[in-house]
Amino acid sequence: MDIISHILIGRGIATPSEIPKRNVYFITFFSFLPDLPQIAIYLYLGFINSRPFFIPLNTDWNGFRALHPFWSAIWEIPHSIFFVLLIILPVVLIFKLPKIALVAYLSHIFIDLFTHAGEWGTKIFYPLHYKIDGFTNAWSWPFINIFSSWIILILIIVILHFFFRYKTSTNKT
């Protein structure tokens, strides 16, 4: 899935009205945190292929893992369940972050299991080479399809927002 979709999904997870605003930011941040290193990879790939504004084409990703194992590992490590257990979980517990931020992080990996296929199938047990192939590479969809998914996610967030707001107001009476 693309980063904006992950951000929107994280915002949807953070929608219940009783969640403090400070925690909404943590939850949303953790929902796209596994892809944060990908921004550097994205720009690097655009640079080495001499793309305008360093924006790579979808075809530029073909064979990327084999040609750039270091950059590939930067993407794989945060998508590994071992990373979640050894780094993310302790960070959430030590810094007393909202535990739902961990859920948002895990939702990112879970969604990527279905939306990354072929070369970019998710290696959830990285550094082991076991790979799960999703049914599509959602990040490589035409822009109109990605934009449509953003609209649907925004509508879901709005509906959740009104649902939780209504639920909270009826519980107070």
What's the pLDDT tens digit per position in 113-172?
A: 999 888 888 999 999 989 999 888 877 788 898 899 999 999 999 998 888 776 666 666
Q: Kindly indicate the confidence band of residue 107, based on its pLDDT and cuts at 50, 70 and 90.
A: very high
> In Å, how far are 9, 42, 145 from 101, measured between CA atoms?
12, 25, 28
For 12, 19, 125, 169, the CA distances from 113, given in Å and listed in that order, are 19, 28, 12, 37
Whole-number Å distance between alpha carbons of 36 and 7: 11
Indicate the pTM of the whole model: 0.86
Structure tokens at 161: 């927002």
Q: Higher confidence at residue 60 or residue 6?
A: 6
pLDDT higher than 80, residue 58: no
Spatial distance between the Cα atoms of 60 and 51, rounded to a whole number of angstroms: 10
Mean pLDDT of the chain: 89
pLDDT beyond 80 at 78: yes
pLDDT given at position 155: 94
Cα angle, residue 34 at apex, residues 149 and 26 outer, rounded to 5°: 85
Decide if 22 contacts 14 (C-beta within 8 A): no
